[in-house]
Amino acid sequence: MATNTLEAGDTLDHYRIEATVARSGMSMLYKATDLRDGKLVAVKVPHAELETDPVLFERFKREEEIGQMLDHPGIVKTFNDEPRSRVYMVLEWVEGRLLRSILREEKKLPVERAVKIALGICDALDAMHKRGIVHRDLKPENVMVDEQDHIKLIDFGIAMKEDAKRLTFVNLSASMGTPDYIAPEQVKGQRGDQRSDIYALGIMLYEMLTGLVPFTAENALAAMNERLLHAPMAPRTLNAEISPELEEILYRALEREPRHRYATAQEMAWDLEHQEQVGVDASRERPVARGGKRGANKRLLLYGALVLVPALLFGLMLLLAKQ
């Protein structure tokens, strides 16, 4: 089975494949039944080429190791099973819907519901971060929501232990996260830490409340650069039901500089639970019109710098070639 693809009815050790759930660049995810006790599980099988790529294989094994370290109701469980006939992961089967599916259908959520989901994510992040683990790819596609709006974080494919060696990847989104949710320090090529997860949560809460992500552009690179140039569009201009205090919480989560953000998910959760005690910073930077002169000038300077970098490198190479 060169492609590692399984079909409904196939067995993998003592797991019977019921259906294909998802395909990613690294693996296939299947719904399966554990034939020992009849319980549903999720089986994640890497693509065949991943097993021959040492960097990608290490990433897959790291995801499994991190998953086994975490035991929290808001985080999908990874089971440490007996020796297997091939490389794959077995995870808890999670009932519910992806937050992305909910947002696609409802566009934006009532304030109370959005805050409840954000609090659930804060709780799961706090448990992760206390174990020294950073998710690095928080987005609505990686949050499952059940009928009571309880959440589970899924997909730790690019999660990182703070003391782990750095892996190098050739794929931009695989190494850094997803453009709409990536933190400014990650755009700059920095490794990121728990405050990067808090930034991504801020983006998700903003999206749940307004139906939009705060930074958009004609392509992924431009969208990432937007957060280096601008404050987010004031969320209260997009949803009048957002209180000044909740808007302040969003601004604190979305601070451009990590040191100005919430230091922990627990801090953000406290503010979400005690919004009446959140002071509003009247001096905080507020957004200017995206098409205004100031924004256009900054954008031109940045894009000009991006063009100059390869030109300077090419000139340096020519100079060295002549020596």
Whether the CB-CB separation of 29 and 44 falls below 8 Å is answered with yes
CA distance 7 to 12: 11
Say whether 137 is catalytic: yes
Given 34, 126, 137, 155, which residue is catalytic?
Answer: 137
- Count of C-beta atoms within a 10 Å radius of residue 173: 14
Residues 6+ positions from 207 with CB-CB distance below 8 Å: 103, 108, 140, 213
Which secondary-structure segment (H or E) carries 71?
none
Residue 100 β-bridge partners: none
Q: How far is Cα 56 from Cα 87, in angstroms, rounded to an integer?
A: 13
Q: Strand pairing of 97-98 and 78-79?
A: unpaired
Could you give the residue numbers annotated as active site?
Answer: 137
